[in-house]
Amino acid sequence: MLQPMLSLVGAGPGDPELITLKAIKTLSAADVILYDALACEDLLQYARPGTLCLSVGKRPGRHAVPQDEICRLIVHYAQSHGHVVRLKGGDPFLFGRAEEEIRAAREAGIPVQTIPGITSAIAAPASQGIPLTARGLHESCWITTGTTRTGTISADIALAAQSTATVVILMGMSRIREIMDIFITNGKSGIPAAVIQSATTGEERCVTGSVADIAELAEEAGLGSPAVIIIGETVRLHPALWKEYANLTAHSNEPPL
């Protein structure tokens, strides 16, 4: 008897080896896989032969499948095929619109399970040796979107710029200069910053600098989306900046990390 089900699966930040074992097992049990452009297609090797695999993500030269249509497809294939896996880049619950897909499934009486994934908000800085917290530097971190659904800069950026936390910004490259201006207005021009593109993949690239110049440096390096922006003193722990930071702290009273 057909048993409709939806599994929301986090594919991780890009490196196919960073998907979880539970996610792999869930993919191998799927009847249909609806996957995002940011979910590495190498992961489809874990699907059973004959599994229907459909891309619903945005790709160059092709419009993204509207969210309403994705929700409709989830319900349709769960009812017609059984177990639908919605494979999302990163983690489904961090800017992944998971709540809309869960609601559509539940309203249709379809059971839902969630398999968390490693988010690029943590994996990207980690891949470059940048911790989000470090004793004596930062005790907390902000993770925020750079732009809202209307394309405007998130109001949370201004709040984050007033904090003492490490700030991680996703989906902010199109407005990076304006975002940095907000931090500059809040007296943060000298704070270290980094931009990491295509983190954990073979195409990963990173530039480091300060709030004052990171937008220009990223532009000169040709960096673009998908990329993660990190702002905070922990950026000094990046290998490119480590010697300077080590020399600075060697002659100060700052506590060791």
Q: Rounded to whole angstroms, how far apart are CA atoms 7 and 205?
A: 32
| Ranges of H-type helices in the chain | 21-28, 67-80, 98-107, 120-127, 156-161, 176-185, 214-220, 239-250
Would residue 36 show up in a list of annotated catalytic residues for this protein? yes
> How many CB atoms sit inside 10 A of residue 175's CB?
20
Selected catalytic residue, list 15, 25, 42, 58: 58
Would residue 156 show up in a list of annotated catalytic residues for this protein? no
In the Cβ-directed half-sphere of 207, how many Cα atoms lie within 13 Å? 17
Closest CA to 228 of 164, 166, 161: 166
> How many CB atoms sit inside 10 A of residue 182's CB?
18
Calculate the alpha carbon distances from 93 to 12, 100, 114, 119 in Å. 12, 11, 9, 9
Calculate the alpha carbon distances from 13 to 123, 126, 207 in Å. 7, 11, 18
Selected catalytic residue, list 15, 31, 36, 91: 36
Task: Cite the active site residues.
Answer: 36, 58
